[in-house]
Amino acid sequence: MTFAAVVVRESEDGVRACVEEIEMEMLPDRDVTIRVLYSTLNYKDGMVMAGIGRIVRTYPHVPGVDLVGEVVESRSPLWSQGDKVIVTGFRMGEISFGGYAQYARVDASWIVPLPDRLSAFDAMALGTAGLTAMLGVMALEAHGLVPSDDATLVTGAAGGVGSVAVSLLSTLGYRVSASTGRTEEEPYLRLLGASEIVPRRELEEPSSRPLESERWNGAIDSVGGTTLARLLGQLASGSSVAAVGLAGGSSFQASVLPLLLRGVNILGIDSVMTPLELRRRAWERLALTMAPGRLADMTTTVELQSLPALGTEILKGRVRGRVVVRVSDEER
């Protein structure tokens, strides 16, 4: 039996992703076989399809760090045929084949159940981006963030993590300031719930002062680099930033003064290896908070064939919101 998959191959000319028909035997020997219904596009998938960052060590490779689907075969007592499940992270799509194929084989311990209130489509409209945004919100709340009239900052706001973070925070009653380099996306970001738009350039230049006026009661930062350094000096006393991404750079030079004189915290978020219990709680809360309809405004749907080109676009910061990949028909 053969089925469709995006396959990344390496040659003398570099790394290239194409849609191919592959055989079941190509899948890794893991406990649970899933018929994939939907996957998504994340920044990391763009990196994998372009062969950037030494994320993939062995080719040919099937990318896709997220999937939702139906169990068709299980050697684990934890999962049975017909279960609807979500898999994200655990280095699926990086060192193991991922969700850009009509079938996937994964470890039983990577799987969370699809929450009752969430459709398979909406689960991937959220995907790793949604999980990461929710982990960021939960980390900020655990460090004292509560809704108020003060502004909470989201950087890289028109991207995947940023879009879900804006929508999530505003649904939870926070006043959201959305920082973006695409100011033409202001109507989109306001639709998602942003109260204020902050042009990216306001944050990407380093400040000569380590402590600026206290502007944010918390932040979710997808950008990293100078932006992370700059916003640290603008955080209110005792508040925190959930450091999520590196779209603007992986290293940063910053003063420790905001940490020492204002008790500001940098909270690292790693969605890939998040333990199952926390993952389940985050997905249940996403299902409760992100009612159907809130995701429609930020979601585009594509087929597997569109992925290689879209991988290039996301690396250039040109993809808005979330991309859901339709992999197999929901009804057989």
Told to check if 161 binds ligand NDP by CB under 6 A, we report: yes
Q: Which is nearer to ligand NDP, 246 or 257 (CB)?
A: 246
Question: Of 21, 202, 205, 270, which lies in the binding site for ligand NDP, with binding defined by CB under 6 A?
Answer: 270
Looking at 18-26, 158-166, 281-289, 290-298, which segment touches ligand NDP (CB under 6 A)? 158-166
Strands (E), 107-150: 111-113
Cβ at position 316, least distance to ligand NDP in Å: 8
CA torsion 239→245→248→254, rounded to 10°? 40
Order of all β-strands in the sheet with 175-180: 194-199, 175-180, 151-154, 218-221, 240-243, 265-268
Looking at 50-58, 124-132, 143-151, 258-266, which segment touches ligand NDP (CB under 6 A)? 124-132
Q: Which is nearer to ligand NDP, 117 or 318 (CB)?
A: 318
Chain residues 27-56 in contact with ligand NDP, contact rule CB under 6 A: 42-44
Q: Confirm if 244 and 269 have CB atoms less than 8 A apart.
A: yes
Told to check if 132 binds ligand NDP by CB under 6 A, we report: yes
State the DSSP string of 294-308. TTGGGEEEEEGGGHH
Cα–Cα distance for residue pair 8/14, rounded to 1 Å: 10
Told to check if 299 binds ligand NDP by CB under 6 A, we report: no
Cβ at position 223, least distance to ligand NDP in Å: 4
Separation of first and last alpha carbons in the chain = 16
Cα–Cα distance for residue pair 78/106, rounded to 1 Å: 13
Q: Which is nearer to ligand NDP, 62 or 314 (CB)?
A: 314
Q: Position 283: which residue type? A: W
Q: Total number of residues binding ligand NDP (CB under 6 A)?
A: 31
> Which of 3, 6, 1 lies closest to 311 in space, CA to CA?
6
Residue number of the CB closest to ligand NDP reads: 159
Told to check if 200 binds ligand NDP by CB under 6 A, we report: yes
Cβ at position 271, least distance to ligand NDP in Å: 3
Told to check if 182 binds ligand NDP by CB under 6 A, we report: yes
> Which of 275, 288, 244 lies closest to 122 in space, CA to CA?
288
Told to check if 130 binds ligand NDP by CB under 6 A, we report: no
Told to check if 244 binds ligand NDP by CB under 6 A, we report: yes
Told to check if 311 binds ligand NDP by CB under 6 A, we report: no
> Which of 31, 28, 27 lies closest to 108 in space, CA to CA?
31
**Residue for token digits 């508040």?**
239
Q: Which is nearer to ligand NDP, 115 or 162 (CB)?
A: 162
Told to check if 248 binds ligand NDP by CB under 6 A, we report: yes
User: Which 8-state DSSP code applies to residue 237?
Assistant: T
Told to check if 120 binds ligand NDP by CB under 6 A, we report: no
User: Phi/psi zone of residue 2: left (φ > 0), alpha (ψ -120 to 50 degrees), beta?
Assistant: beta
Q: Note the residues at the interface with ligand NDP (CB under 6 A).
A: 42-44, 128-129, 132, 156-162, 180-182, 200, 222-223, 244-248, 269-272, 314, 317, 319
